[in-house]
């Protein structure tokens, strides 16, 4: 018997949430020094090349490790019901100003955290997390992913018209994929 995936069964966006989890695991894996030392070409696989001000590999490892820890802190704050601390803690991830090639990881982290907030019935806070992430995104692909989760939040709170609007905007962005 195939084991049931709890994430997939909790929402109609289960497949998207699973993809978010996969990306989050990449973020976690890339933050460990052992992983970087055994995979020196990981930077090239992570996305488009960053500009000349890219942090050194050691600085990048540190930034990714901090981002991973901050993501876990936000998850713990949500579990504790300390919703007043969610935005200040997630802002610390945004303030790291990770290189552009990690934009997708930041977007997926915001999506996962928004899903946790939906499960806690914290809809306005989930919207705020996604809005803040959306303002920081450059790639249409990442904007579309956030809008799809935003639609899930609206649908979860019963606002189907806004959910449809978000999905339509996501489709338009997907059609323009990665045009800035």
Which tokens is 170 given?
């996501």
pTM of the model: 0.70
Q: Is residue 117 part of a domain?
A: yes
Which tokens is 158 given?
């019963």
Q: Is residue 84 part of a domain?
A: yes
Structure confidence at residue 47 (pLDDT):
44
Classify residue 34 as exposed, middle or buried by CB count within 10 Å of its CB (0-12, 13-18, 19+): exposed
Structure confidence at residue 95 (pLDDT):
94
How many domains are there within the chain?
1
Which tokens is 176 given?
């323009």
Domain that holds residue 77: 13-38+55-138
139 Cβ neighbours under 8 A, 6+ residues apart: 103, 104, 178, 180
Q: Is residue 105 part of a domain?
A: yes
Whole-Å CA distances, 124 to 120, 136, 169: 11, 19, 20
| 155, 161 Cβ separation under 8 angstroms | no
Structure confidence at residue 177 (pLDDT):
73
Structure confidence at residue 54 (pLDDT):
81
Could you say which DSSP state residue 50 is in? P
| 5, 90 Cβ separation under 8 angstroms | no
Q: Angle formed by the axes of helices 103-119 and 123-136, to 10°?
A: 170
Structure confidence at residue 53 (pLDDT):
74
Q: Is residue 172 part of a domain?
A: no
**Residuewise pLDDT in 10s, the chain (180 residues):** 444 433 333 444 454 444 444 444 334 333 333 322 332 322 223 444 445 578 899 999 999 999 999 999 999 999 999 999 999 999 999 999 999 999 999 999 999 999 999 999 999 999 999 999 999 999 999 999 999 999 999 999 999 999 999 999 999 999 987 454
Provide the 3-class DSSP secondary structure of residue 61.
helix
């Amino acid at each position: 018997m195939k084991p049931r995936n709890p994430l997939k069964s909790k929402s109609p966006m289960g497949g998207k949430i699973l993809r978010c989890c996969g990306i989050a695991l990449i973020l976690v894996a890339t933050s460990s020094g052992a992983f970087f030392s055994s995979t020196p070409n990981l930077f090239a696989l992570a996305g488009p090349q960053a500009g000349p001000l890219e942090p050194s590999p050691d600085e990048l490892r540190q930034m990714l490790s901090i981002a991973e820890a901050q993501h876990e802190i936000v998850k713990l704050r949500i579990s504790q019901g300390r919703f007043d601390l969610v935005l200040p803690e997630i802002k610390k991830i945004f303030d790291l100003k990770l290189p552009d090639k990690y934009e997708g990881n930041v977007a997926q982290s915001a999506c996962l955290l928004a899903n946790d907030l939906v499960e806690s019935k914290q809809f306005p806070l989930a919207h705020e997390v996604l809005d803040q992430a959306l303002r920081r995104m450059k790639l249409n692909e990442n904007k579309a992913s956030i809008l799809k989760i935003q639609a899930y939040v609206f649908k979860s709170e019963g606002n189907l018209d806004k959910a449809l609007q978000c999905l339509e905007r996501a489709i338009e962005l997907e059609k323009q994929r990665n045009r800035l």
